[in-house]
Structure 1
């Protein structure tokens, strides 16, 4: 029984988007690993941006720094 936990920042993912994630991950596990969709568990945890950091910065500060540095090459 596969268990997949997806963590995203709490920024307004719609119920439809979450359903698509759940369905897509379930289908991927079935297609790639032959796992039974009926016993595949997918959970989505939404984390406040205040509680999410990347590269030593709160995520919103990290995104601002990335935007200020211009497009990636």
Structure 2
């Protein structure tokens, strides 16, 4: 029985949104289950998918908080 954990920062994907919508989560559940079926032959009804939204300040990237790292990336590309 596969178990997949999906972790994302608690940010919306559209202006004004502060979280992933229920519809987006449902699409992720379907997609993860489909990948495990396509690759490993695991039936979707055997697959558990756990979705976790983590506050942005609880993520680090490149040795610094994500928000700071994104600023560095923006400065390099701008």
| Same fold flag (TM > 0.5) | yes
Q: Deviations over 1:11-43 (max 9, x none)?
A: 121111111111001001001110011110000
4+ residue stretches of structure 1 with deviation over 3 A? Answer: none
- TM-score, normalising length: structure 2: 0.86
- Computed over aligned residues only, the root mean square deviation of the Cα atoms, in angstroms, reads 1.1
Aligned residues: 71
Question: What is the match of residue 40 of structure 1?
Answer: 47
Structure 2 unaligned regions, length at least 5: 12-18
Match of 1:62 among 63, 69, 76: 69
- In structure 1, list runs of 5 or more residues that go unmatched: none
Question: TM-score scaled by structure 1?
Answer: 0.91
